[in-house]
Amino acid sequence: MTSMLKLVFTALLGVSCGATPSNNSTDELSKALSTTDAYPNAPITYVVPFAPGGESDITARFQQIAFKAKFGQDLIVSYKAGGGGAVGWSQLNSLSGDGYTIMGINLPHIIIQPLQGNIGYTADDIIPVHFFHYTPDALIVHQDSEIRSLEDFVKHAKSRPGAVTLSGSGKGSANHIAQIRFDNMAAIDTTYVPFRGTGAAITAVLGKQVTAQWGYSSAGAAYDDQIRLLAIAMETRHPRFPNVPTFRELGYDLVSGAYRGIAVPNSTSEELRQRLSTLMSEINQDATFIDKMEEGGFALIDVTYDQMDNFMAQKKQEYKIAANSTGLAP
């Protein structure tokens, strides 16, 4: 009898004989059952730590459809909003590690937030198992703007140090980090104006209240007839925007955006972490899912659990440098 079967048999015997299993034995039984070939054999709760309707919710819903089609089980999306995601992330490790509870995570949030003070969790408390996409940063102007290219923007900013205003989604967000990094690369000085969310930031551009916006490529999909993307922070051009150059094409090594992935409670076994990563990676290969993501302006990536340590180490260094250079972190 294998060790796993022994574990299951022993736990079931204890229950059938009227014994009350300890919490540890119950957890071990749950994990043993979860790691059978039938996994997942029940719905998985997918906690989004933001309010409904945002990009984290939208992309989770795309995954939900593909997950059901591929694996025959539901992803039950729930919400635990507050603190820009911090409320949910601070409670993640108190949830069950049985493989049937996962939570959405965002970069740079889970790295930058703890640098700014005690918010109930640290970056090392979070156990990412897969990053499936990012929404690339993009430099955006109103369709009527006299600024027609990234070169125009840089010239405009250099002629008006500190006077060029850019809206963005919050302080310490991917947009803010992109503004900091690009100012350094281009040797310019611009003024970042943080708004509460991407909706308010794009409204400021549409109302011509700011010179431009550090926004996301998804805005180009939603407002393509009202705004212009000057450049997009990807390694190659986005298929949804074939005429928009990348920053790299134009001489600036900027590949960035809001990265989204899946994390699990720290009590989740290594085997289940790997299994969940594999499931999410399979969704990333689904043709319908790919089409929906690209049409929305998102960029797919596939950072699996075995690649996670290197990926997170790189991002921590990148974000800390930007945060320290501008006082975002003490």
Model confidence over 295-313: pLDDT tens digits? 999 999 999 999 999 999 9
The domains spanning 42-133+259-326 and 135-257 adopt the same CATH topology: yes
pLDDT digits (tens, 9 = 90+) for 224-280: 899 999 999 999 999 999 999 999 999 999 999 999 999 999 999 999 999 999 999
Are the beta carbons of 261 and 303 closer than 8 angstroms?
yes
In this prediction, residues 199-220 reach a mean pLDDT of 93
Instruction: Work out whether strand 101-107 and strand 44-48 pair parallel, antiparallel, or are unpaired.
Output: parallel
Quote the pLDDT of residue 171: 82
CA angle 190, 198, 114 (to 5 degrees): 80
- From the number of C-beta atoms within 10 Å of its C-beta (0-12, 13-18, 19+), residue 146 rates as exposed
Quote the pLDDT of residue 224: 87
Separation CA 220–CA 227 (nearest Å): 7
Q: Residue 45, Cβ neighbours under 10 Å: how many? A: 16
Q: Which CATH architecture has domain 135-257?
A: 3-Layer(aba) Sandwich (3.40)
Question: Which top CATH class is 42-133+259-326?
Answer: alpha beta
Quote the pLDDT of residue 327: 66
Quote the pLDDT of residue 21: 38
Q: Where are the domains of the chain?
A: 42-133+259-326, 135-257
Is the per-residue pLDDT at 98 higher than 90? yes
Tokens for 16, please give them: 């059938």
Give the pTM.
0.81
Are the beta carbons of 164 and 175 closer than 8 angstroms?
no
